[in-house]
Amino acid sequence: MMQLYNEVCSLCSKITTEKYSTSFSSSIKLLHKDLQTPIFHIYGFVRFADEIVDTFHEYNKKQLLDDFIKNTHEAVQNKISLNPVLQSFQLVVNQYNIDTHLIDAFFASMRSDLSEVSYDDKGYREYIYGSAEVVGLMCLYVFCDGNKASYLELEPYAKTLGAAFQKVNFLRDVKADAKGLNRMYFPGVDFNNFSVAEKLLIEQDIDKDFTCAYQGIKRLPKKSRFGVYVAYQYYITLFNKIKKLPPQSILESRIRVSDVSKTGIVLFAQLKNRFNLL
């Protein structure tokens, strides 16, 4: 019966990912079938934590997050949880021996979202590490499947890919973050007076992250390379749309990639994969 319980919990994490992020869930489904379930487990966990700090405004978010952190550590230590998403997550952490430092860093960034803050350079880097880079590293544990040498080689690339994704999200979600949640992630930027020069500097930084990350994608194990490449191409497409817009436009609406474009991204990636060009 334990197998049935784990299957139910796994399905919960998968549904959570699919409902909250069609793009990520579609990319996960392009990974080798052996990798899909554990990655769904990681993203289900991340999504629940994000919901606490981003959505549950009418509740005591600090208490909810404190309880979630406590329950997460207990789940990992005891190898069981009655929270389906935490049960799925602890299975991955224990199976792949994911460093709990990554979990702690993730929660540190989630805690910082409970306060309305602006970041300096150090705080900005720390936030991105905890909110995005460690998620990529958790996934890398799965992709490398115990091969420590491969993990260490790919670690810096996984971090830059996570950073690039997060920074693009910051630009895409400026309206919601700055105007809705009073969060200012980019150091020294006043979105009430967001200039072309400031936007360009942010974009140049993201470009560097994407350039570095692509070198790592080409080195990924075959089972994970295609799915990660599709996610990379999706974010590149989103980023290119943002780059073409004036600062005021991204302050007024959330930029999206159409379903037609997403289909084109997958077809393009399939062609590159078929001819061993990834």
Gap between the terminal Cα atoms of the chain: 42
Provide mean pLDDT across the span 171-187.
79
Q: Which carries the bigger pLDDT value, residue 180 or residue 142?
A: 142
Tens of pLDDT, residues 159-176: 999 999 999 999 998 877
Distance CA 270, CA 235 (A): 17
Q: Which carries the bigger pLDDT value, residue 174 or residue 103?
A: 103
Provide mean pLDDT across the span 229-258.
91
Tens of pLDDT, residues 82-91: 999 999 999 9
Q: Which residue has the tokens 């999706």?
A: 234
pLDDT tier, 217 (very low <50, low <70, confident <90, very high otherwise): very high
Distance CA 216, CA 211 (A): 9
The model carries a pTM of: 0.94
Identify the CATH number of the domain in which residue 7 sits. 1.10.600.10
pLDDT at 232 over 70: yes
- Compute φ and ψ for 57, nearest 5 degrees: -65, -25
> Could you give the percent of the chain with pLDDT greater than 90?
78
Q: Count how many domains the chain has.
A: 1
Question: Smallest Cα–Cα separation from 27: which of 192, 165, 196?
Answer: 165
Tally of residues, the chain: 278
Q: Is the Cβ–Cβ distance between 32 and 224 less than 8 Å?
A: yes
Q: 101 in helix, strand or coil?
A: helix
Find the domain containing 145 and state its range. Answer: 2-274
User: Amino acid identity, residue 65?
Assistant: L
- Compute φ and ψ for 124, nearest 5 degrees: -60, -45
